[in-house]
């Protein structure tokens, strides 16, 4: 996975022409040029523990272009393909009831649905006829770490069942970056996270996507009109805004083996040109209440579970 320039391919000329589907050479950066990121320091009253839900890497190839949170009932609502882990039934028609009745790829009975847009090897012309321009060979994550973390200034409370969370903005290239939350990194360089460029990793290092979800809940609602205002992000010190409560903070870390060079891209709406700033993720909590209490206990007692 070195930093050699890619050779032109059917899907990426690399020359920045308007007819190109993207991504472009300026969308990539050597990981060593990415600034280090400092996380908020956990205070005396903060919660230091964590819990990992083990759900696999979508080995069963549960993929579809739906997004029942944002576009319920719409077959191609996302205009790009999602990888799903956890709940086995997730599609455009999913409801609280259908999710609760389905099986799961997760351990401990976690029926939550976790999903994100797929990554493709853009040097391949697989899927070449896709009307949304999502061309290339699907790359499954080599690892998908679904970690629930604490809050820097307070204990966490349980998430309500069927809470919906989204992070990032699939249209950030045209909407602007107010809601963008992409995080691109490389294994061995996790303290360097790029918010707006795909990372070029040294040989032997995997590309990482680090997706942090909001974790300050309004205490009442499992969703909101824009799917954001019911759960917001903590401030730069890690504290939740007044009137909200800290809940376990989901961090998805997805690891990939990609071909050398500027060779890969996230699936996207066509007008987004596969811009790395558009990366995003979705989650609906369908944990049994008892499992959620275990998550909260692990986090608040400082245990790693």
* pLDDT tens-digit readout, 68-92: 999 999 999 999 999 999 999 999 9
* pLDDT tens-digit readout, 34-45: 999 999 999 999
Looking at the domain assignment, is residue 223 inside a domain? yes
Looking at the domain assignment, is residue 278 inside a domain? yes
Higher pLDDT, residue 33 or 14: 33
Task: Please tell me the total count of domains within the chain.
Answer: 1
Looking at the domain assignment, is residue 277 inside a domain? yes
Mean pLDDT (whole number) for 102-118: 99
Looking at the domain assignment, is residue 16 inside a domain? no
Burial of 232 (0-12, 13-18, 19+ CB in 10 A): middle
How far is residue 266 from each of residues 167, 237, 258, measured CA to CA in Å? 15, 30, 12
Q: What is the DSSP letter of 104?
A: B
Tell whether the model's pLDDT for residue 20 goes beyond 90: no
Looking at the domain assignment, is residue 5 inside a domain? no
Q: Which residues constitute the domain of residue 172?
A: 29-300
Does the predicted model carry a pTM greater than 0.75?
yes
* pLDDT tens-digit readout, 234-273: 999 999 999 999 999 999 999 999 999 999 999 999 999 9
Looking at the domain assignment, is residue 127 inside a domain? yes
Under a CB-based contact definition with an 8 Å cutoff, are residues 19 and 273 in contact?
no
Looking at the domain assignment, is residue 296 inside a domain? yes
Looking at the domain assignment, is residue 12 inside a domain? no
Q: What percent of the chain has pLDDT over 70?
A: 94
Ranges assigned E (strand) in the chain = 28-30, 50-53, 63-64, 82-86, 113-117, 119-121, 137-139, 143-149, 164-168, 184-186, 198-200, 207-212, 216-217, 231-232, 245-246, 249-256, 264-266, 280-284
Q: 21 pLDDT band (50/70/90 cuts)?
A: confident
Mean pLDDT (whole number) for 120-142: 94
| Average pLDDT of the chain, as a whole number | 93
Count Cβ neighbours within 10 Å for each residue of 107-133 and write b for 16 or more, e otherwise: ebebbbbbbbbbbbbbbbeebeebebb
Tell me which of 10-19, 29-38, 182-191 is least confident.
10-19
Please state, as a whole number, how many other Cβ atoms lie within 10 Å of the Cβ of residue 103: 11
């Amino acid at each position: 996975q070195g930093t050699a320039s890619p050779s032109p391919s059917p899907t990426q000329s690399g020359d920045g022409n308007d007819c190109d589907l993207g991504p472009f050479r300026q969308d990539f950066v050597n990981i060593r040029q990415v600034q280090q990121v400092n996380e908020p320091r956990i205070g005396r009253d903060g919660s230091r523990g964590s819990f990992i839900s083990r759900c696999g890497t979508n080995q069963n190839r549960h993929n579809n272009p739906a997004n029942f949170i944002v576009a319920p009932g719409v077959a191609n609502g996302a205009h790009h393909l999602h990888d799903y882990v956890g709940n086995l039934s997730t599609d455009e028609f999913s409801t609280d009831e259908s999710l609760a009745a389905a099986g799961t790829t997760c351990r401990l009975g976690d029926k939550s649905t976790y999903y994100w847009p797929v990554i493709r090897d853009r040097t391949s012309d697989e899927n070449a006829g896709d009307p949304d321009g999502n061309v290339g060979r699907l790359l499954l994550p080599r690892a998908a770490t679904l970690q629930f973390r604490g809050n820097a200034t307070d204990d966490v409370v349980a998430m309500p069942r069927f809470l919906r969370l989204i992070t990032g903005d699939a249209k950030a290239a045209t909407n602007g970056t107010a809601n963008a939350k992409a995080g691109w990194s490389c294994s061995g360089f996790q303290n360097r996270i790029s918010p707006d460029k795909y990372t070029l990793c040294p040989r032997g290092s995997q590309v990482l996507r680090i997706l942090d979800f909001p974790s300050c809940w309004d205490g009442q609602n499992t969703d909101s009109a824009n799917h954001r205002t019911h759960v917001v992000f903590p401030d730069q010190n890690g504290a939740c805004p007044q009137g909200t409560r800290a809940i376990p903070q989901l961090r998805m870390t997805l690891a990939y083996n990609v071909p050398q060079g500027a060779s890969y891209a996230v699936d996207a709406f066509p007008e987004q040109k596969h811009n790395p700033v558009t990366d995003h993720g979705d989650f609906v909590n369908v944990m049994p209440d008892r499992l959620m209490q275990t998550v909260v206990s692990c986090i608040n007692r400082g245990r790693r579970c």
